[in-house]
Every structure is written in structure tokens, then in C-alpha cells.
Structure 1
């Protein structure tokens, strides 16, 4: 395994279908569908991307990013790179920053799975939620920018963006609970009592539908945002695989849930035990209040449920990654280790339920 200064890696392991690309086939295909394209291609796989393998392509026509489904048998509705392509294309002229998407290949015969090509956005991605690279004023500005972009996303006119059929409206949490419980059971490798307890509580405490419908990202967090090289401005929100029409509080709770986690929870950085005020980072209460101000609402009810559901869904996603690792088609070489985080996540959710519901 070799790593570059930008955190990209080129990996060779037993599952070459996940880690490598058929360069000859890819170059031939892109030359045919993109008139401006020129080879040769040099590809490096990004270190992130537990779900869909993602590659930086350096070519004679410039630098691009290729994101593909992993090869092999996939769970139903998972790894929806075609949905990622569609939503980013729809948001191109909106106030939500996204990369310019160039081409979607739905034919799995070309390189072994569906993929799309998008522009490479030169900027900064931060992996540590405490933002140690920045000073207090900058940290405040970056969290304010994340809050602004999230509110902008939830304010997108769905009909005007051509996304009115991008998901089902209404009963979002009921449908999501059923989906992720099914995904979890389909990838369950061993009985985890805390997950069973959490699933039972969520099923018995689903909130009534309040009519709120928005475009939701599904995995909105710090390291899925590319920031300007020198400014606090976001230039691209990445990883739209889980996006749909849903309840906006799901995105907000998901981000706040992750900030409640330990500093290193399976490639996810949290702020558990961190003195946020000393770092210039808003408290959860302040962050939620700022979001409510932007969205024109006074408060959020059922906050404990939204947080607990976020822990559950993340645990279900991680369990799916661990199952793919066992099956030999996970995107990351560290995927097998993630299964150990399912039980702690479920216990964190149960702690939220005990203290805040």
C-alpha cells in the first residue's frame, strides 16, 4: 500500500476487482462518449469511500474523479451511484455546492460495475471534527458554513430542481426504519443485544409524520465536504448515495450524532469530551438553534428519537460494510474492522434514549 501526500492510495490486494480499474477498457469507453477526453489515464484510489470505490483520474484532458459501484452481489437499493449522479446534476445551479458531473455509465460490462465521472475539486477535506489545523475564529466560520449549506440543501425547491420523484413523500422515518432494519438483518453476522434493544425501541416510538419534506443528503458530515483552498467556503458536497426526499431533521441529527461520538469511531471523527467553547466550535444546542433560525422554526421536538435513529442507521450501514468485507467485495481494506463499532454505536443510542427521551 502506498500513500500520497493528499491521502490518496494505490492498493493491491486479493480483491483486484475492487481496488483496480481496467484502464484499457475505460480509456476506450471515455474516448468514445466524451469528445474532449484524451488518455492515457493514471488512476489512484482514494483512501475514503467505504461504500463505493472512488478514484482520482489524471488524464491528457485534465483531472477527474470516477466513482463506481463495488463489483459482486449488492444489497437491494445500495450503492446507488446513478442517484448520486442525478442529484448532483440537478443541484448544479443551486446554492448547494456540488461537483460538475460529466457522464454516467450504466453498463456494468465496461469496467465491471456502473460508474460516473465528475470534475475533481481542488480544495481541503478535514477529517478531524476538532479542526486542529485552524484557529478558533476559523473553526467557528467552518461550522457556520456547514450549517448554512445544510439549511440551503433543505430549502431546495424540489419541483424546480426536477426531483419531485426522487423519493416518496411522507412517513420518512417509518420507511427508513423498515429499510435499515431489513438491511441490518440481511448483513447480520452475529446477534448484538444492544442493536436488538434499539430496534425494538425505535419501532415502538416512531414519531407521527409532521408533513416536512426536503431533499436530504443522508451522510452529511465534515469529511464529505470540500472547502475552498484558503477560505471557509464550501465548494463541493460529496457522497450523495443515500440522498432522497425525506425529513430534514434526519440530516441535522445525523451530523449532531457524529459530533457526539469519540474522536475515532471507525473512520468517523467526533467531539465527545471536547471543550467546544475553548475551540470556537458551537455546542449542539447552539448549532441546532442556528439551523432553526435559518429554517424559520422555533424548536425541534422528538430530538432524542432523531439522534437514536441516526446511531441505528449508521450502525446498520457499518454492519453492511463488515458483511461486504466478509464476502470479499468491500471498498476499503480496513472495512472488516468496522464491524466492531456496531455494538458501541447501539449503546450510545440507548444512552441518548435513557438521558434525553
Structure 2
């Protein structure tokens, strides 16, 4: 069994009453379903995870991670931990870096919701996109590793690993814009924003021609990756809740908006001195992805940027709503929800640069 480094473990806390697990029931389930498990269990909760609460399980035989649906009323189709477990199991078949899945439980009577248990991977998580603690000389290799892994994901044939039905292969932008627009409009309690209203109105008419489909992660960021303890190599991609079959350029652009993302929202590089840090420029990063996936270039790049800031704004709007209803799983949810207007403004800025 393996364990995360001190950086990750420092983000642990005692679960609140709302997120406390029945450790006895969970231990009985694991004894019946996880080979080699030996109790008793000691459970602590990772501080992150605004959506699906994530726990560290210390047992007599080692350490595990548990991901569950959050308590309280949920948006239909959201928090699909069964899909998270399924996609990671499938990708492991082709050597893609994911944590090993030990078991999935659909029986909500065990801990009060669906959940799955997976390997706790040994390595490093970087919460800051400038990769502090990495030498200036090595820093480009870490960015290359991130880029190469998302390119690898988009090169996997879904059908070949049993994921041909993992989503609807086509009209991804139309469906996504409709989904997030509806979620935004159906939750007025979380607030309204003029820029977001404009995006809801204008984005559908700016979708580029043509279509593609691949497995997409949906939340590919440096802080959702575990790197090798000492090498610039990704050894596990985490947090697959938003994964589906979708447009690879939507997925890659979401990752690449780190260059424009204010670091106080999520791991971002806006305002950073890239030359001093020896971080590849946005254009260089896009070029590496294109070479890895056999593309000459990415037309309409600003649309993909605008779409992703819009999508993230809608997600943060949803977090704000859950925080108001006290169903969000993170104590940081209220602060995250406040970033919604700023993200909508960034989306408008990209849309206005689209020729």
C-alpha cells in the first residue's frame, strides 16, 4: 500500500458531523469486498473536494482513499462516483496513470451514499501552478509531463477499453452549454450576473464548425495530478467526476486556461513571470499538445477559452448555491462560490477576442 506525501496529508481534518462515516459499517463492507483488508479503520477527511467528499482510510494493512457522494439534495446526474470508478478501471487497462480501484458500493445503507475505495498513490501534488520547490531547470519537464498525459488521454480509443457508451459522442459544446446554462438559470438563489447572462445567450452561436470525440477528464489541473516523488512524471490523475466522451479541445483548453487563471481561484499562472520561472508560454504549450496529437494548430482558440471559463463559472455558481443550502462538502465552498462573477468576466474577455 502507498501513501501521499506530507503536502497532501497536511490537508486532512476530522470529518464534520454532516460528513462523518459509520466506520464499523465501512470496515465490514471492506472486509467483504477489498482483498487483504484488515481493520480497524481510522478515518480522516481531505480538506479539498468541494463536490465529492474524499477521505483517507488508515487500516491495519495500509492506507486507502474513499470518494463518496455528498449528503443532501443533489443535482440530477452530478456526483457520479460510479462513473469515476468505471473510467479509472478502464484506463488502467492501457497503462494510463490512474489509482487502482479496489471496490465500488452502490448500497447507500453502508455510509449513507454511494462510494468507492481506491489506492492512495505515493507522490507529490502541486497546489500552485508555478511548481514551487521544483528547480528552474526542471520546471519545463513538469509542464511537458502534464501536456503529454492529457494528450495521451485524448489518444485512447474509448471503444477499445469498454467506454464506447461513456457519453454521447457528438454535439459536445451544444449539450454542455445547454447543461450549464440550465443549471445556472435554475438556481437563482446563488445569484445572477450580466456577463453570465450574455454568455448563455451568445456562446451557442459561436461554436466552431466540425466535431470530435474522445475521453475527456473535465477537470485536468496540476492539483488533480500526482507526480512521481522525485521525477517530472505523472503517476496518477485524480478526480474523474466530470469525465465523459467529449471534445478533446474543450478538455485541453480547460487545462491550458491555467495561463489566464488568477491563482486565488484555482491553481493558475495569471500575473506570473513565466520567463523568470522558466515555464513554457501558452503558445509553446499549445504547440506541444498539437504535436503530440497530430494537429497543425487549434483554430478558434479563444472560443475554447471562453467556453471553459463559462463552464467553470457555472460550476462555481453551483458551489455557491450548495453552500447557501449547506450541502457543499468543503469549508472553502463559500469563498469558491464568490469567484463566479470573476470567471464570467474572463469568459467574456476571451469571447470578445474571438474573430
Q: What is aligned with 1:51?
A: 51
Give yes or no for contact 2:227–2:236 (8 Å, CA) kept in 1: yes
Consecutive unaligned residues of structure 2, counting only runs of 5 or more, are 1-5
Q: Does 1:248 align with 2:251?
A: no
Q: What is aligned with 1:275?
A: 273
Shift of 1:203: 2.2
Give yes or no for contact 1:129–1:259 (8 Å, CA) kept in 2: no
Q: What is aligned with 1:259?
A: 259
Q: Does 1:10 align with 2:23?
A: no
Distance (Å, rounded) in 2 between the aligned partners of 1:245 and 1:186: 25
Q: What is aligned with 1:65?
A: 65
The DSSP-based 3-state class of the residue aligned with 2:26 is helix
The DSSP-based 3-state class of the residue aligned with 1:136 is coil
Shift of 1:35: 4.3
Distance (Å, rounded) in 2 between the aligned partners of 1:34 and 1:271: 41
Shift of 1:273: 1.9
Q: What is aligned with 2:348?
A: 350
Q: What is aligned with 1:312?
A: 310
The DSSP-based 3-state class of the residue aligned with 2:324 is helix
Distance (Å, rounded) in 2 between the aligned partners of 1:148 and 1:337: 32
- TM (norm. structure 2) is 0.95
Give yes or no for contact 2:250–2:308 (8 Å, CA) kept in 1: yes
CA displacement 1:314-353 (0-9 Å, x = unmatched): 0111111111111111110111122211101111111112
Give yes or no for contact 1:217–1:243 (8 Å, CA) kept in 2: yes
Distance (Å, rounded) in 2 between the aligned partners of 1:205 and 1:95: 37
The DSSP-based 3-state class of the residue aligned with 1:24 is helix
Q: Does 1:107 align with 2:112?
A: no
Q: How does 1:134-153 map to 2 (within 5 A)?
A: 134-153=134-153
Q: How does 1:94-173 map to 2 (within 5 A)?
A: 94-173=94-173
Give yes or no for contact 2:183–2:318 (8 Å, CA) kept in 1: yes
Give yes or no for contact 1:153–1:215 (8 Å, CA) kept in 2: yes
Q: Does 1:231 align with 2:231?
A: yes
Q: What is aligned with 2:83?
A: 83
Distance (Å, rounded) in 1 between the aligned partners of 2:269 and 2:35: 47
The DSSP-based 3-state class of the residue aligned with 1:235 is strand
Q: What is aligned with 1:303?
A: 301
Give yes or no for contact 1:125–1:225 (8 Å, CA) kept in 2: yes
Distance (Å, rounded) in 2 between the aligned partners of 1:95 and 1:9: 30
CA displacement 1:113-161 (0-9 Å, x = unmatched): 0000001101100000111211122210000000110110000021111
Shift of 1:356: 4.0
From the superposition, tell whether residues 35 and 145 of structure 1 become closer, same or farther in structure 2 (CA, over 3 Å).
Answer: closer
CA RMSD of aligned residues (A): 1.4
Q: What is aligned with 1:328?
A: 326
Q: How does 1:19-38 map to 2 (within 5 A)?
A: 20-38=20-38
Distance (Å, rounded) in 2 between the aligned partners of 1:177 and 1:25: 41
Distance (Å, rounded) in 1 between the aligned partners of 2:15 and 2:155: 43
Give yes or no for contact 2:300–2:354 (8 Å, CA) kept in 1: no
The DSSP-based 3-state class of the residue aligned with 1:182 is helix
- TM (norm. structure 1) is 0.94
Consecutive unaligned residues of structure 1, counting only runs of 5 or more, are none
Give yes or no for contact 2:40–2:59 (8 Å, CA) kept in 1: yes
Shift of 1:194: 1.3
Shift of 1:304: 1.0
Give yes or no for contact 2:124–2:229 (8 Å, CA) kept in 1: yes
